[in-house]
C-alpha cells in the first residue's frame, strides 16, 4: 500500500494519484495507467458538478424527527413531480437524477394554504349495545390515513361494538379497538379495520403551531360537511378539569351539534363541547360561569402525541366497557333508562335504586339524581298498577310499601296502597293510607272510601260481638269526617238498637240535615224510637216551693241540652239568638214573623229545629222563634206548639208538672 504525502490516506501501490485528495503520489502508473486514472477522476468530478447545478433543490419542510412520516397528513403531490426513485445498492454507479431524495416535495418560497376537503375526513360512528342493536351515533374525524379516528370517549361507555360509516361510501368499516383514551378530556383514538386503502385524513395541529393562534383569529367549525366561521375569544383557556382549550366567541350557528374545529389550513384544532358540560369526575357547579352559547375546544395535541397514532390497540370497545363502565353510575343510569322506556318496571326499580346509591358515591350532580328519582317514583306507580291489573294484590301492596320508604310524602302512592289494601280487606291499613292521602292531597276526594272503610271496620267488630269496637270505629270516623251524614246515620242506628235513644235521635236528626237523601230512613228509625218512648210512663217534673217558673233540661237536635222555661202561656217555643248560633243555625235567613211578648209587639225570625226532646218525649221539625238576647241574658221557652203534642198538667197541690202521651 502507498501512503499519500498530502492527506496521509492509503492507496493502491500502483496509484499515481490519491483516491481521496487527488494529489500525486509521486509514483508513475504501469503502462500509462496513471494517466488513465487521472482522466477518469477528472471526468467524474466534472459530471458531479454539472449534476449539482442542474438538479439543485431548495430545502423544504421536513417533519420533526419525533413525528413519523406516516403520522403526518401529506399534501397532494404536484402534477409534474416524478415518482421517487428506488434506492440503489451502495457501490453501484448512480446516474444523474436517479438517486434517493431525502425530502418530500418542492415548495415555493412563500407557500399558500391549500384548500382541504374536511368533509371527506368526517365519519359517523354507529354505537351498538350489548344486545347487538344500534344504540346511537356520534361523529368522528380521520386523523391518520391508515384508519385512526379521533372522537369522544364518554359515549363509548356502555357500548360493545362500533361501526364506522363515511359519507358517499357504501357499507361500514368495523372499529377493531381503542388505541388510547383520556377520560377527563373526553377524547379517544380508535383503530379501524384494515381496508387496503389510504383514507383522507386531517393532521392534528401541533402545540408549536398552536402558538401562532391569537384572539380574533378565524377558524372553521363543523357539525357536518359544511363549515361555519367562528372567532377565537381565548386561545389557551384552561377548563375546570385542568386541560387547555380554545374559548370561542358566541357566534350564530355554533350550537350543541357542533363537533370539530379546524384551522384555515385544515388541521384539527380540537373537538367542541359546551362550556357548561360536566366533565367526568368534575361536579357541574365547579366549572367557572361563562356566558351561555360559548364553546370550548379541547386540544387533542395536548392529550395525544403524534406517536400515539401509530400505537397498537390497547383493547376492544367491549373490553373497555366491561372494565370501566359496568357497575358505574353511567352504566346503571343507561340500563335504567332502557328498562324504563320499555316499561319493565320491576327491573327499572332495581337498577334505579342501584344508580342512585352509586351516584352519591361518585358525587354525581343533583340534577341527574333528581331525574332518576322522578323515574323511580313513576316506576313504582307503574309496577303497582301492573300487579293490580293482574290481581296480584299482595305483591302490589309490598311494592307500594317499598316505594313509600323513599317517597313517604307521595299522595298518589299512598292512594295506590289504600286501593290494594282494600282489595285484601286490610281495613285498618286502608284507613291509615287514606288518612295520609287526605293530609297530602286535599284535592282528591277520598270521603266515600274512608266512610266505607270505617263502616267495614265496625261491621267486622259487630260480627265477632265487639260492640264497643264498632262504636269506636264510627266515633273515629266522625272525628276524621265531621260532616259525614252516613257515619252519623250508622252510629245513630247503632244507638237506636242499643236503646240509647237521646244520642240516636241527635245523630239521626244531624244525618237528615247533612244529607236529605237519608231523611226517609232516618224518620223510620225516629218513629220507632217515638213508639218505644210513648209506651213509657209520664214525665214528672217537680216544682220547687216558691218558684216563679218551671225549668227543665231540653235536648235540641239530640246533641245539646239547654235550660228551658216551660211556659204554658206561650204559643211558640222560643230560643235565644246565642243558642241558635251555638247550634249552628243561620237564623238571619229565617222567615220574618210578628209576635207579641211581655215587652210588646216585635218582628223576629222563625226557623225549624231538627228535634226538641223532654226526657225522650220529642217533636221533630219543630218551628221556633228566635228572640234577641237582652241585657246579656238569653231566654229559652218551651211553648204550646211543643206541649200540645202531648198531654200535660200542672198539679199545684202536689207541686209537679206532668207530661205524658196523648
Instruction: Give residue for cell 395541529.
Output: 205
The yes/no answer on whether domain 333-527 falls in CATH 2.90.10.10 is no
pLDDT band at 284 (very low <50, low <70, confident <90, very high): very low
DSSP at 196 = S
Average pLDDT, integer, range 157-175: 89
Least confident of 94-108, 385-399, 422-436, 502-516: 94-108
Class (C level, CATH) for 539-660: mainly beta
Q: Specify the pLDDT at position 299.
A: 79
Q: Specify the pLDDT at position 7.
A: 59
Whole-number Cα distances in Å, 353 to 414, 416, 499: 20, 21, 58
159 — phi, psi (to 5°)?
-100, 145
Q: Specify the pLDDT at position 21.
A: 57
Least confident of 135-149, 234-248, 253-267, 580-594: 234-248
- Say what percent of the chain tops pLDDT 70: 76
Distance CA 232, CA 221 (A): 11
List all residues 6 or more positions away from 355 whose beta carbon is below 8 Å from its beta carbon.
Answer: 329, 332, 333, 335, 336, 372
- Give which of 532, 455, 473, 523 is closest to 497, Cα–Cα: 532
pLDDT (tens digit per residue) in 407-420: 999 999 999 999 99
Distance CA 442, CA 445 (A): 8
Domain made up of 115-326: CATH architecture? Beta Barrel (2.40)
85 in Cβ contact with 98 (< 8 Å)? yes
List all residues 6 or more positions away from 586 whose beta carbon is below 8 Å from its beta carbon.
Answer: none
Instruction: Give residue for cell 401509530.
Output: 310
Q: List, in sequence order, the alpha helices (H) in 342-484.
A: 345-361, 366-389, 393-406, 411-423, 427-440, 447-463, 467-480
Q: Specify the pLDDT at position 106.
A: 36
Q: Specify the pLDDT at position 256.
A: 63
Q: Specify the pLDDT at position 43.
A: 55
Q: Name the β-bridge partners of 612.
A: 556, 619
- Whether the pLDDT of residue 305 is over 60: the answer is yes
Least confident of 69-78, 284-293, 506-515, 534-543: 69-78
Least confident of 76-90, 199-213, 218-232: 76-90
pLDDT band at 189 (very low <50, low <70, confident <90, very high): very high
Q: Specify the pLDDT at position 222.
A: 87
**574 exposed, middle or buried (CB, 10 Å; 0-12, 13-18, 19+)?**
buried
Q: Specify the pLDDT at position 22.
A: 55
More confident residue, 18 or 62: 18
Q: Can you say whether residue 168 is alpha, beta or left, with left for phi > 0 and alpha for psi between -120 and 50 degrees?
A: left
Measured CA angle at 608 (ends 604, 610), to 5 deg? 150
Greatest mean pLDDT among 68-72, 73-77, 446-450, 608-612 lies in 446-450
488 in Cβ contact with 511 (< 8 Å)? yes
Q: Name the β-bridge partners of 424.
A: none
More confident residue, 74 or 546: 546
Residues of the chain with CATH 1.25.40.10: 333-527
Least confident of 24-33, 466-475, 510-519, 620-629: 24-33
Distance CA 469, CA 461 (A): 6
**Could you give the dihedral angle defined by the CA atoms of residues 624, 627, 629 and 635, in that order, rounded to the nearest 10 degrees?**
-60
Which helix (H) or strand (E) is 172 found in, with range?
none
- Whether the pLDDT of residue 198 is over 50: the answer is yes
pLDDT band at 297 (very low <50, low <70, confident <90, very high): confident
* Average pLDDT score, the chain: 79
How far is Cα of residue 241 from the mean position of the Cα atoms in its chain?
Answer: 25
- Whether the pLDDT of residue 633 is over 60: the answer is yes
- Whether the pLDDT of residue 103 is over 70: the answer is no
pLDDT band at 335 (very low <50, low <70, confident <90, very high): confident
pTM of the model: 0.47
Q: Specify the pLDDT at position 655.
A: 87
pLDDT band at 100 (very low <50, low <70, confident <90, very high): very low
Average pLDDT, integer, range 593-613: 85
487 in Cβ contact with 475 (< 8 Å)? no
Q: Specify the pLDDT at position 353.
A: 93
pLDDT (tens digit per residue) in 519-576: 999 999 988 888 877 776 788 888 888 888 889 999 887 667 889 999 988 899 999 9
Crossing angle for the helix pair 427-440 and 447-463, nearest 10 degrees?
Answer: 160
Instruction: Give residue for cell 237528615.
Output: 512
Least confident of 59-68, 189-198, 367-376: 59-68
Residues of the chain with CATH 2.40.70.10: 539-660
Distance CA 61, CA 531 (A): 122
DSSP at 630 = B
Distance CA 639, CA 357 (A): 77
Q: Specify the pLDDT at position 238.
A: 74
- Whether the pLDDT of residue 1 is over 90: the answer is no
Residues of the chain with CATH 2.40.10.120: 115-326
578 in Cβ contact with 561 (< 8 Å)? no
Q: Specify the pLDDT at position 561.
A: 83
Q: Specify the pLDDT at position 546.
A: 80
**Cβ neighbours, 10 Å, residue 341:** 10
Q: Specify the pLDDT at position 186.
A: 87
**319 exposed, middle or buried (CB, 10 Å; 0-12, 13-18, 19+)?**
middle
End-to-end alpha carbon distance in the chain: 170
C-alpha cell at 253: 350557528
Q: Name the β-bridge partners of 343.
A: none
pLDDT band at 11 (very low <50, low <70, confident <90, very high): low
- Give which of 502, 445, 522 is closest to 616, Cα–Cα: 502
Q: Specify the pLDDT at position 544.
A: 86
- Whether the pLDDT of residue 400 is over 70: the answer is yes
Least confident of 22-26, 39-43, 81-85, 428-432: 81-85
Q: Specify the pLDDT at position 452.
A: 92
Distance CA 382, CA 388 (A): 10
Q: Specify the pLDDT at position 250.
A: 77
Radius of gyration in angstroms for the set of CA atoms belonging to the chain, rounded to a whole number: 52
- Whether the pLDDT of residue 279 is over 50: the answer is no
- What's 330-372 look like in SS3? HHHHHHHHHHHHCCCHHHHHHHHHHHHHHHHHCCCCHHHHHHH
Q: Judging by DSSP bridges, how do beta strands 573-576 and 617-627 pair with one another?
A: parallel
C-alpha cell at 621: 221539625
Least confident of 32-41, 214-223, 493-502: 32-41
Amino acid at each position: 500500500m502507498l501512503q499519500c504525502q498530502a492527506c496521509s490516506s492509503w492507496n493502491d501501490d500502483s496509484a499515481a494519484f490519491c483516491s481521496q485528495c487527488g494529489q500525486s503520489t509521486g509514483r508513475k502508473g504501469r503502462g500509462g495507467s496513471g494517466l488513465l486514472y487521472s482522466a477518469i477522476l477528472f471526468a467524474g468530478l466534472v459530471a458531479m458538478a454539472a449534476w449539482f447545478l442542474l438538479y439543485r433543490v431548495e430545502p423544504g419542510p421536513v417533519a420533526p424527527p419525533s413525528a413519523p412520516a406516516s403520522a403526518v397528513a401529506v399534501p397532494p403531490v404536484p402534477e409534474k413531480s416524478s415518482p421517487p426513485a428506488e434506492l440503489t445498492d451502495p457501490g453501484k454507479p448512480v446516474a444523474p437524477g436517479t438517486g434517493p431524495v431525502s425530502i418530500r416535495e418542492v415548495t415555493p418560497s412563500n407557500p399558500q394554504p391549500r384548500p382541504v376537503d374536511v368533509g371527506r375526513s368526517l365519519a359517523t360512528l354507529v354505537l351498538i349495545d350489548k344486545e347487538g342493536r344500534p344504540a346511537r351515533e356520534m361523529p368522528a374525524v380521520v386523523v391518520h390515513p391508515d384508519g385512526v379516528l379521533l372522537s369522544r370517549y364518554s359515549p363509548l361507555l356502555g357500548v360493545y361494538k362500533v361501526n364506522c360509516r363515511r359519507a358517499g361510501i357504501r357499507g361500514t368499516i368495523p372499529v377493531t379497538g381503542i388505541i388510547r383514551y383520556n377520560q377527563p378530556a373526553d377524547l379517544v383514538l380508535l383503530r379501524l379495520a384494515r381496508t387496503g386503502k389510504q383514507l383522507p385524513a386531517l393532521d392534528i395541529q401541533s402545540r408549536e403551531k398552536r402558538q401562532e393562534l391569537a384572539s380574533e383569529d378565524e377558524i372553521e367549525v363543523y357539525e357536518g360537511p359544511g363549515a361555519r366561521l367562528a372567532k377565537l375569544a381565548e386561545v389557551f383557556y384552561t377548563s375546570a378539569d385542568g386541560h387547555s382549550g380554545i374559548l370561542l366567541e358566541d357566534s350564530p350557528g355554533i350550537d350543541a351539534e357542533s363537533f370539530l374545529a379546524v384551522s384555515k389550513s385544515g388541521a384539527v384544532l380540537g373537538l367542541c363541547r359546551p362550556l357548561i358540560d360536566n366533565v367526568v369526575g368534575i361536579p357541574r357547579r365547579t366549572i367557572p360561569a361563562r356566558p351561555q352559547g360559548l364553546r370550548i375546544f379541547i386540544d387533542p395535541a395536548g392529550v395525544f402525541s403524534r406517536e400515539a397514532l401509530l400505537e397498537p390497540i390497547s383493547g376492544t370497545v367491549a373490553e373497555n366497557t366491561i372494565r370501566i363502565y359496568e357497575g358505574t353510575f353511567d352504566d346503571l343510569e343507561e340500563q335504567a333508562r332502557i328498562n324504563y322506556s320499555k316499561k319493565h318496571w320491576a327491573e327499572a326499580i332495581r337498577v334505579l335504586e342501584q344508580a342512585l346509591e352509586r351516584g352519591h358515591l361518585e358525587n354525581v350532580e343533583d340534577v341527574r339524581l333528581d331525574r332518576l328519582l322522578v323515574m323511580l317514583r313513576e316506576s313504582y306507580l307503574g309496577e303497582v298498577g301492573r300487579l293490580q291489573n293482574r290481581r296480584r294484590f299482595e305483591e302490589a301492596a309490598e311494592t307500594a310499601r317499598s316505594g313509600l320508604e323513599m317517597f313517604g310524602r307521595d299522595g298518589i302512592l299512598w292512594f295506590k296502597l289504600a286501593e290494594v289494601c282494600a282489595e285484601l280487606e286490610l281495613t285498618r291499613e286502608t284507613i291509615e293510607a287514606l288518612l295520609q292521602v287526605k293530609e297530602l292531597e286535599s284535592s282528591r276526594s277520598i270521603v266515600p272510601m274512608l266512610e266505607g272503610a270505617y263502616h267495614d271496620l265496625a261491621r267486622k267488630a259487630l260480627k265477632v260481638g265487639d260492640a264497643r269496637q264498632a262504636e269506636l270505629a264510627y266515633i273515629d270516623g266522625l272525628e276524621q269526617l265531621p260532616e259525614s251524614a252516613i257515619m252519623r246515620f250508622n252510629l245513630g242506628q247503632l244507638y237506636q238498637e242499643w236503646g240509647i235513644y237521646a244520642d240516636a235521635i241527635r245523630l239521626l236528626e244531624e244525618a237528615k240535615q247533612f244529607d236529605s237523601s237519608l231523611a226517609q230512613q232516618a224518620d223510620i228509625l225516629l218513629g220507632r224510637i217515638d213508639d218505644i218512648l210513648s209506651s213509657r210512663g209520664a214525665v214528672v217534673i217537680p216544682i220547687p216551693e216558691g218558684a216563679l217558673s218551671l225549668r227543665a233540661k231540653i235536648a235540641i237536635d239530640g246533641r245539646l241540652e239547654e235550660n228551658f222555661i216551660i211556659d204554658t202561656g206561650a204559643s211558640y217555643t222560643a230560643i235565644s239568638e246565642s243558642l241558635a248560633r251555638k247550634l249552628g243555625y243561620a237564623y238571619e235567613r229565617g222567615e220574618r214573623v210578628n209576635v207579641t211578648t211581655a215587652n210588646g209587639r216585635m218582628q223576629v225570625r222563625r226557623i225549624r229545629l231538627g228535634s226538641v226532646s223532654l226526657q225522650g218525649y220529642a217533636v221533630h221539625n219543630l218551628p221556633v222563634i228566635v228572640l234577641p238576647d237582652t241585657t246579656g241574658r238569653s231566654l229559652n221557652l218551651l211553648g204550646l206548639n211543643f206541649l200540645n203534642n202531648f198531654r200535660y198538667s200542672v198539679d199545684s197541690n202536689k207541686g209537679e208538672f206532668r207530661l205524658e202521651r196523648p
